[in-house]
Structure 1
Amino acid sequence: MRPKQWAKNALLALAPLAAGVLFQPTVLLEVVLGIIAFSLTSSGGYIVNDLLDIESDKLHPKKRFRPIPSGEFPARIAWPTAIVLLVAPAGIAAAFGFFTFAGVLIAYVIIQLSYCIWLKHQPVIDIIIVASGFVLRAVAGAAIVGVPITQWFILVISSGSLFMVAGKRYSEKVESVGKEQSHTRKTLNLYSLGYLRFVWTVAATLTMLSYGLWAFDLNGGTSIGSIISVFPFGTALLLYAYDIERGEASAPEDVVLKDVRLLVCGAIWAALFLLSVLARQYGWQVPNLS
């Protein structure tokens, strides 16, 4: 079920936070329940992926120790467990009236099953599909509490997700040089380091531009917090790009949690982002100096 991957589901809190409603008791409860639902659903996808790759994972130096390929979690139990995890959260959400959120979960399940069965073997498409998982998490957060999402939100999340996924593939490619037969990701042999560097560079540029446009969006109400937040955001982006270039970003969750500089930049950005949200909510705008 890969509990370490559940941290990704914190993305469900972004849209409610950006809308300034996250800390309302009812909204916070809905977001927490949404995170739990998405964690269970994604876990079902991880189990299916391991079941389909069980033979190749047995030959992998690291993946062979996972519960399914090692035999610790038998396939006869894993299959029904995966089905329940993939179906139950969306069904329960729909039963309680969260139809849009349930629809996002269903879309995620369909995409993940398509990825596990076929799309993960298609170059370029595999990167886009993995990145879409992050986008759907962010959209799910907006859906469960019923808040609108802006074009800037979608642009930053989409390009940022593509940046992380392409960077992950780049690092995996760097690690695989000279030992092409030791990994199970078939598409990795179809990518060149130059192409992957191009993708994550373009994605990083688009992420920074999109965030900057949001920060200086006069129609939305520019605040001191939103302007200053560009600096820790950009610094974190550059630090992560440095880890990618060194081939150390094959496990993004480990990079973020182990890099103190990234954590500090993230904390500063979060504080400034919250300040900017409050500023926009209460009309604290930067005066026009022109």
Structure 2
Amino acid sequence: MTRPGLVVLEERAARHPGRRALGVPAGVLRTARPRQWIKNVLVAAAPAAAGQLDSRHTLRQLALVFVLFTAAASAVYLVNDARDAAADRAHPQKCHRPVATGQVPVPVAYAVGGLLALLAPLGAALTCNAMTATLLTGYVVMQLAYCVKLKHVLVVDLVVVTAGFLMRAMIGGVALAIPLSRWFLITAGFGALFMVAAKRYSEAVQMEGRGGATRALLDAYTTGYLRFVWQLAAGVAVLAYCMWALESGGMAGGSLLPWRQLSMVPFIGGILRYAVFADRGSAGAPEDVVLHDRALVVIGLVWVALYGLAVADL
């Protein structure tokens, strides 16, 4: 949006102060990125991997952790948009964000973001345990450092975004005091790096030859390097998952078929299917890729079914 367009929006808001006041909460909600909240379902990953989703206490605790992590992630989005408001106004898509258009004043975004950043770890300390609060505090500090500085540091930006996904996958287990398998951590970490690098690669492919990359550091990466990263990460994630699935003593031995071992098939199939979009340069936001590809949804459901059978020991 150009500067004159922003002036028009401000003039309209001045003529209708009541409408603007009602629009601020809605704008804050939009800035918190509700579509991104689906990623926080990863808080159930560790308990699911350990086969411990069969009690009301566990489900209640995971619902609470989901809310706390969503609040922490929303805090980061609000602060990020407040910091980048001026730059976003010059971007063809980001100019429509509520903070960039003036629907949410910058001080309000900072205030709500700061409040959520404080309340999320405090809520974890009061309702979960000290390790959960520490992990959530570390997530908030790391992501805010990313907004301020780390997104401008080569390679470190990939590590920070990947670490954010890994923390999501870990926190459910931490809150419920579930031991985290080394293979689970490797699979989750490199699986996250695969999706992050695939998204960066797709952005680089789409911007190649155009110039003026809009994401920090995107011009500093070559498409060859990003392709190497997502291919390496995919290979390590598949290997770690296979080692985890074949690990002895993970499930009881009375099941009709080796369901956990069979779950390797849809897992590998899902990685290969996702890699198709990465190779084409069309792997955007992970949640968009997964939810908008019917084959990936079916593969995911097959994996859930097989792993569910393994947990139930049928």
Return the match for 1:104 from 112, 115, 135.
135
- The answer as to whether partners of 1:57 and 1:184 remain within 8 angstroms in 2 is no
Contact 1:159–1:204, Cα closer than 8 Å, also in 2: yes
Summarize deviations over 1:126-169 as a string: whole Å, max 9, x none. 00100000110111111111111110110100110100000010
Q: Which has the larger radius of gyration?
A: 2
2:244 aligned with 1:244: no
Secondary structure of the 2:282 match is coil
- 1:73 corresponding residue in structure 2: 104
- How large is the RMSD of aligned CA atoms in angstroms? 1.3
Distance 2:132 2:286 in 1: 26
Query: C-alpha separation between the residues in 1 aligned to 2:263 and 2:306?
Result: 5
State the TM-score, normalizing by the size of structure 1: 0.93
- Which residue identity does 2:123 align to in structure 1? I
Q: Deviations over 1:26-77 (max 9, x none)?
A: 1100001100110111000011111111121111110111111111111121
Runs of at least 4 residues of structure 1 off by over 6 A? none
User: Does the CA-based 8 Å contact 2:128-2:175 persist in structure 1?
Assistant: no
Deviation at 1:219, TM superposition (A): 4.0
Tell me the residue number matched to 2:250: 220
Counterpart-to-counterpart distance in 2, 1:171 and 1:246: 7
Matches of 1:58 and 1:49, distance apart in 2: 14
Task: Indicate conservation of the 8 Å contact 2:68/2:123, yes or no.
Answer: no
Kept in 2, the 8 Å contact 1:56–1:184? The answer is no
Instruction: For residue 180 of structure 1, give the secondary structure of its aligned residue in structure 2.
Output: coil
Structure 2 match to 1:23: 54
Displacement of 1:179: 2.4
For residues 167-186 of structure 1, the aligned pairs below 5 Å read: 167-181=198-212, 183-186=213-216
Q: Aligned partners of 2:208, 2:97: CA distance in 1, in Å? A: 24
Q: Secondary structure at the match of 2:209?
A: coil
Question: What amino acid is aligned across from residue 107 of structure 2 in structure 1?
Answer: R
Aligned to 1:193: 223
Letter in 2 for 1:209: L
Unaligned runs of 5+ in 2: 1-31
2:186 pairs with 1:155: yes
Structure 1 unmatched ranges of 5 or more: 285-290
What displacement does 1:178 show? 2.6
Higher relative contact order (CA 8 A, sep 6+): 1
Deviation at 1:186, TM superposition (A): 2.4
Aligned partners of 1:55 and 1:69 also within 8 Å: yes
State the secondary structure of the residue aligned to 1:186. coil
Q: Which amino acid counterpart does residue 100 of structure 2 have in structure 1?
A: P
Aligned partner of 1:7 in structure 2 is: 38
Q: CA deviation at 1:98?
A: 2.1
The answer to whether the 8 Å contact 2:72/2:120 transfers is: yes
Q: How far apart, in 2, do the equivalents of 1:270 and 1:219 lie? A: 20
Of the three residues 123, 126, 136, the one matched with 1:95 is 126
Stretch moving more, 49-58 or 222-231: 222-231
Paired residue type of 2:250:
G
Distance 1:214 1:93 in 2: 30
Q: 1:238 to 1:200 in 2, by over 3 A?
A: same
Report the counterpart of residue 138 of structure 1 in structure 2: 169
How much has 1:184 moved relative to structure 2?
2.6
Q: CA deviation at 1:97?
A: 4.8
Aligned-residue sequence identity (percent) comes to 41
Of 306, 309, 314, which residue of structure 2 is paired with 1:272?
A: 306
Distance in 2 between the 1:140 and 1:258 partners? 27
Shift, 1:95, TM fit:
2.1
2:94 alignment counterpart: 63
Q: Select 1:255's aligned residue among 289, 303, 308.
A: 289
What one-letter code is carried by the residue in structure 1 that aligns with 2:288?
Answer: D
Indicate if the aligned counterparts of 1:27 and 1:145 stay in contact, CA closer than 8 A. Answer: yes
CA-CA distance at 1:247 after TM superposition: 1.1
Counterpart residue number, 1:128: 159
The alignment partner of 2:296 has SS state of helix
Amino acid at match of 1:178: G
Cα deviation 1:76-122 (Å, max 9, x = unaligned): 21111000111101112212352211111001011101101101011
Between the aligned partners of 1:186 and 1:29, the Cα distance in structure 2 is: 39
Return 199-208 or 214-223, whichever deviates more.
Answer: 214-223
